[in-house]
Structure 1
Amino acid sequence: MQAKAPGSKKASGDLWWQKGIIYEVYIRSFNDTNGDGIGDLNGITEKLDYLQDLGIDCIWVTPFYESPMKDFGYDISDFKSVEKMFGTMQDFDKLLHETHQRGMKLIVDQVPNHTSDQHAWFKEARSSRDNPKRDWYIWADADAEGNPPNNWLAMFGGSAWEWDEKTEQFYYHAFLKDQPDLNWRNPEVHEAVLEEMRFWLEKGVDGFRVDVMWHLIKDEHLRDNPDNPDYKEEQPTYNQLQPVYSTDQPEVHDIIRKMRKLTDSYPDCVLIGEIYLPIHQLVSYYGHDNKGAQLPFNFQLLTLPWEPKKIAIAIDQYESALPNSGWPNWVMGNHDQSRMATKLGEAQARVAAMLLLTLRGTPTLYYGDEIGMQDVKIPKSEVQDPQGLHMPDKNLSRDPFRAPMPWNDSPNAGFTTGKPWLRMAGNTSKLNVQAQQDKPDSLLALYKKLIKLRRQEPALHKGLYRPVYSDDKLIAYLREAEEKRFLVVLNLSNKGRLFAPERFKFKGKVVLSLLPDHENATVENELKLKGDDGLIIEINR
């Protein structure tokens, strides 16, 4: 393929991944076409018209590669393959072709931090200490008492070091012992992983979401992590320590720069990084001269309390911390976090949708949030998520956020003709896509309206963000571009509130309202908002 020209240093907002909306498909739970109860690649292809009608620009598909499925696909045994439960490589090629035929993009998960212990690389590495691939992973001797070399903890509980009887050394695993970490200090690992990425780029994918990007490099001296003074018992045991030596090392940016150089050599590709870090650390992942990840995922709306003042401050801090060429992004749902409608309730989920789709920057949606899917209670006897299984006393299973998508009111909600891999919600007869398709007041209809308005108005998809007001209930801001200004006013509570800011005078027409009270109304200088209301107002110049 022909390499594309270097991008502009200005954050223009005109590139597809800046204007567009990304939609995460957790493949196991989206749509099953062969009756085994597990979603598959053909299931995504079957629903492309739905996603196009919703207004999605880019589909992000979670891992579908060959895997023992100890971590549901994030433990990969062959990066250049398709796990048979999800289909075949021909099925993937069809999905990619059909997505592009509809003018949409497709990005895939890249998991460069670790492999499965069943991967050929690791089988070679653990075969002997002098195997050529030994240094592709992180090995260390026991200390004088036979203990692991340091105190690092695994994300899913317990020590991050596993003893290998045959070669009498420990290997490091940030997650399960079945997921040994690659040694990114070895240049051969760089070349091998970049070659895997090139394989998918040659197929025509439009970029990657890079799993746990901030984990890739570890401290060369394997120093102990310090205690976390803010640790609380209900948190994962991993949080007992501050992972200052096992994550977010300076050398990680050299790796990301190489990944970016590769993706930049293919037309219009995007590199997205999964990064759970505070803003001042997160923005460093844009890289020097914007040659890091184009979109280091910003999870503030997932992790912050639903309080207007805190959210307003976080938006301002993020906007001010962005490098000049950096483009913002916002995420309000993913496969690791409780669903928006569960955390906020149905009414505030509408407010959250308006917030997500009117902020400056690329929004990422999680499958089912557009119909208000909620967490599903999974009995302990049915828990499958390794995080829940390894820390059963802490109620940390992510299964509730990964329930199958309800498409209609048929048995198993149209997701499968077999037994779903995970228990479905109990209200799918009423809460499903088909039930909301033709209802003008449904959450699905609201998403379509918001996405359509965002797409047609440059002020909303690339315009400047200006804060206007916030208090204990309201947040208000302007979006403006090309002689158009939109005032967004959101009530993040269920109580009414008068919006009449002293320092900001306005007059305009309501173009979208969450409640019928203000629909198409002309407003001036003040608004009486009911609880759970939100307005987008086109301001007169």
Structure 2
Amino acid sequence: LKVILDLTPNYKGKQKWFGINFNRTDGGQDVLKEKEAFQFWLKMGVDGLSVSGIEEVLTSAPHRVIEWQNLTKNFSGNDDPRIFIAGTAISENEEILQLLNRSDTDLFFSYYLRQILLASKPPVARSVQQSVENYIESCGKSWPSWALSGYEMGHMASSIQQHLHGLVHMMLFTLPGTPFIYYGDEIGLEDNQVHKGNAPWMLWNNSANGGFTSKPSFREAPLLNQTVQGQKSPPSLLSLFKKLSLLKIKERSLQFGEFQSVYSKGNVYGYTRVWDQSDRFLVLVNLDTQSAVVSLVDSSLPAKASIELSSNTERSEGQISLTDLHLNAGEGLLLNFPYVA
């Protein structure tokens, strides 16, 4: 378990850095004492630091971000690496790419993938391909990251069409880089859940209190299928999430593998992940509300591949032909095939 601490001073406000001009020389530029806070927590042993609203800092003083990055590196060792994460909630993808190029941090958090999938309904495969490839190329030597939801945007289930939920998790865990998962997205938690707080609670069971307290906390007990208890047994979104998590940890191709788009027609997008002599993975996502038939003919691909995992719970295991492949509406399909010398 690694602990990354978010030290954004006004993380829920419109001005996350209180509008401070870091170029001032009268002492006002250091009023937040963020460097002292960084040093304190790094000395305490946290594995990394995260700040959002990075565009506010880059606008007035880009050198400040470099100082934070260097400060974090000074606490890093070969056996104890520390990372610095910068983030933004900006919704325009072109602006996100510009910030990515200017930030030069270990990891850059944004809602880039969210904007791709919300650009049109259903998303067009060619547009998705171009946007994904542009982002990976813009990352350069930086490690990519992907996110659909967070405290600024809310939960995935409240903005992404339901038939795409499993597919979205499939993309998050199979695209190169690090997936960011907002609490509750693994069970389809919605922002409009009736509760007494400002954000929905993670629901453990369908009791009147959601599993948190002995006092009733909801006007109505939550539905069982929206709780952790109700999704422990497959088929469920939580079950798919767990399987994808384990594959991400286990398979080198999904961790470090080269990425290549291999199919982009209509609303179906496909890409491969390949690492050395490890098993190869082919990912196909049907972003449409209708089923689709795909024919994949490429020198880098075999005639058949084995089904590793599907967001469609009715999909049976076994081998499948790549020249006559049927995808259900909203299906994310993960296939594997062996390395051949």
Answer whether TM exceeds 0.5 for this pair. yes
Are 1:109 and 2:6 an aligned pair? yes
CA-based RMSD of the aligned residues comes to: 2.7
Q: How do 1:207-226 and structure 2 match up within 5 A?
A: 207-216=48-57
Distance 1:494 1:427, change over 3 A: farther
- The one-letter amino acid paired with 2:64 is I
| 2:192 maps to 1:295 | no
Match of residue 315 from structure 2: 517
Over 3 Å counting, the alpha-carbon distance change for 1:425 and 1:532 in structure 2 is: farther
Aligned residues with identical type, % of pairs: 27
Higher RCO by CA contacts (8 Å cutoff, separation 6 or greater) = 1
The reply to whether residue 538 of structure 1 matches residue 336 of structure 2 is yes
Aligned residue number for residue 252 of structure 1: 61
- Contact 1:407 1:413 (8 Å CA) reproduced: yes
Structure 1, unpaired ranges of 5+: 1-103, 117-153, 156-173, 217-247, 288-292, 385-398
Whether the 8 Å CA contact 2:23–2:61 is kept in 1: the answer is no
Taking the TM superposition and a 5 Å limit, the aligned residue runs for 1:137-536 are 155=14, 174=15, 180-186=18-24, 188=27, 189-190=29-30, 192-216=33-57, 248-249=58-59, 252-267=61-76, 268-275=81-88, 276=90, 278-287=95-104, 293-304=105-116, 305=118, 307=123, 308-323=125-140, 325-376=141-192, 399=198, 402-418=199-215, 420=217, 427-437=222-232, 439-483=233-277, 484-503=279-298, 505-506=301-302, 507-515=304-312, 516-536=314-334
Q: Which consecutive residues of structure 2, in runs of 5 or more, have no partner in the other structure?
A: none
User: CA separation of 1:425/1:106 partners in 2, compared to 1, >3 Å: closer, same or farther?
Assistant: farther
Query: Counterpart amino acid of 2:100?
Result: V
Q: Within 1, Cα distance between the matches of 2:159 and 2:221?
A: 18
AA of the residue aligned to 1:105: K
Question: Where do 1:68-147 residues align within 5 Å?
Answer: 104-112=1-9
What amino acid is the match of 1:403?
P
TM-score normalized with structure 2 length: 0.84
Note the C-alpha offset of 1:527.
Answer: 0.8
Paired with 1:255 and 1:107, the residues of 2 have a C-alpha distance of 20
1:425 to partner: Cα distance: 8.0
Deviation (angstroms), 1:528: 1.0
Contact 1:115 1:181 survives alignment (8 Å): no
Q: Secondary structure at the match of 2:157?
A: helix
CA contact (8 A) 2:206 2:222 kept: no
Instruction: Tell me if structure 2 keeps the 8 A contact 1:409–1:432.
Output: yes
TM-superposition CA deviations, 1:472-529 (whole Å, max 9, x none): 3211000010223211011112311011035565332111122233423343433111
Post-superposition Cα deviations, 1:67-104, rounded to whole Å, max 9, x if no partner, equal xxxxxxxxxxxxxxxxxxxxxxxxxxxxxxxxxxxxx0
Q: Which residue identity does 2:75 align to in structure 1? A: Y
Aligned equivalents of 1:407, 1:352: Cα separation in 2: 23
Q: After TM superposition, give the deviation of residue 302 of structure 1 in Å.
A: 2.0
- Rounded to whole Å, the distance in 1 between the matches of 2:224 and 2:85 is 36
Change (3 A) 1:303 1:419: farther
Greater gyration radius: 1
Deviations 1:405-431 (A, max 9, x none): 1011222211333465xx688634441
How many Å apart are 1:180 and its aligned residue?
4.0
Report how far residue 107 of structure 1 moved. 1.2
* Contact 1:403–1:425 (8 Å) recurs in 2: no
Quote the Cα distance in structure 1 between the aligned partners of 2:164 and 2:219.
Answer: 23
Cα distance in 2 for residues equivalent to 1:444 and 1:520: 23
- How many residue pairs match? The answer is 319
Q: Deviations over 1:151-180 (max 9, x none)?
A: xxx94xxxxxxxxxxxxxxxxxx37xxx84
Structure 2 residue identity aligned to 1:479: R
SS for the counterpart of 2:159 is: helix
Question: Does the residue aligned with 1:264 lie in a helix, a strand or coil?
Answer: helix
SS of aligned partner of 1:319:
helix
Q: Secondary structure of 1:411's partner?
A: coil
Q: Which amino acid aligns with 1:196?
A: A
